[in-house]
């Protein structure tokens, strides 16, 4: 029996306005796997990601989610993060005046589980190397978190954080949209490395491109707030050529 890092059962979620968005989502993610969720706009993919991370904008009406054996929905967002859950945000959030490097350092330090204190020097080296790998100029590390970052730069900032914080499960919400060809390659590479290290990933995407680099174990299709189909990478290929018409969406 595979160990599940995430189990979602019949999750029903509404927006603050009362409108129902998720209407009974169920799936599970085994430890170490990469699963992908695709679906047309408005199908609820981002809502699912945000709800799992604990966003205050949504209301869980019913259902359960278990993360690493623990009841996820009863935890605050920071508790979830400290237990190893990470969300790469789709919509950029800016925090002016708080340098990106400092923010990552504090989060890194909080999770440090080594025997002695974490070394600032080692951290900075690792941070620079990772930023370099992502083609994110050093100067961006001094700027306020995502402050004035372009869409592509913000996505890289999310991936940079993911790498430094080494979560058990990374939920990546459309981290590939708005990236140019070179940036996509670099980000995809990073995700591949991350996954090869043994972590699990739940990738939400519209495009097939990313999946050229990171082969998913399972592909889900979401529509109307529910998961309507499940398959492998071939399912993604079909979507690439036919769109979502097969599931009754124009």
Residue ranges binding other proteins (CB under 8 A): 53-57, 76-78, 80-82, 85-87, 89, 93-98, 103-104, 106-107, 110-111, 144-145, 161, 165
C-beta closer to other proteins: residue 102 or 230: 102
C-beta closer to other proteins: residue 75 or 233: 75
Closest CB 19 distance from other proteins, rounded Å:
17
Which distant-in-sequence residues (6+ apart) come within 8 Å of 133 by Cβ? 186, 189, 190
Please give the distance of CA 250 from its chain centroid, rounded to a whole number.
27
| Order of strands, sheet of 218-223, starting from the edge strand that comes earlier in the sequence | 85-88, 169-173, 200-204, 34-38, 218-223, 226-231
Question: Do 138 and 125 form a contact (C-beta atoms < 8 A)?
Answer: no
C-beta closer to other proteins: residue 1 or 93: 93
Q: What is the DSSP string of 150-170?
A: -HHHHHHHHHHHHHHH--SEE
Rg (CA), the chain: 18
Structure tokens at 97: 């005046």
Residue 123 buriedness (CB in 10 A; 0-12 / 13-18 / 19+): middle
Residues recorded for the chain: 250
Closest CB 165 distance from other proteins, rounded Å:
7
C-beta closer to other proteins: residue 142 or 196: 142
C-beta closer to other proteins: residue 24 or 77: 77
Closest CB 49 distance from other proteins, rounded Å:
10
C-beta closer to other proteins: residue 7 or 165: 165
Closest CB 40 distance from other proteins, rounded Å:
25
Closest CB 56 distance from other proteins, rounded Å:
6
Closest CB 101 distance from other proteins, rounded Å:
13
Placement of tokens 């290290």 in the chain? 197
Nearest residue to 151 (alpha-carbon basis) of 186, 175, 182:
175
């Amino acid at each position: 029996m595979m160990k599940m890092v995430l189990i979602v059962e019949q999750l029903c979620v509404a927006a603050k306005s009362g409108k129902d968005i998720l209407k009974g989502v169920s799936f599970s993610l085994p430890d170490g796997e990469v699963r992908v969720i695709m679906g047309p706009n408005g199908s609820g993919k981002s809502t699912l990601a945000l709800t799992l991370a604990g966003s205050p904008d949504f209301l869980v009406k019913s259902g359960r989610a278990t993360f690493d054996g623990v009841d996820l929905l009863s935890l605050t967002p920071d508790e979830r993060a400290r237990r190893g859950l990470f969300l790469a945000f789709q919509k950029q959030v800016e925090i002016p005046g708080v340098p990106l490097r400092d923010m990552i350092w504090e989060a890194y330090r909080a999770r440090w589980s080594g025997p002695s204190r974490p070394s600032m020097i080692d951290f900075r080296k690792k941070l620079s190397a990772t930023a370099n790998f992502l083609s994110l100029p050093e100067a961006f590390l001094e700027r306020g978190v995502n402050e004035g970052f372009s869409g592509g730069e913000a996505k890289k900032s999310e991936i940079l954080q993911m790498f430094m914080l080494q979560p058990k499960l990374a939920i990546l919400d459309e981290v590939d949209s708005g990236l140019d060809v070179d940036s996509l390659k670099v980000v995809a590479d990073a995700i591949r490395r991350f996954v090869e290290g043994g972590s699990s990933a739940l990738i939400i995407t519209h495009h097939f491109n990313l999946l050229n680099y990171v082969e998913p174990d399972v592909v889900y299709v979401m529509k109307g707030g529910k998961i309507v189909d499940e398959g492998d990478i071939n399912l993604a290929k079909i979507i690439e050529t036919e769109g979502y018409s097969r599931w009754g969406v124009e």
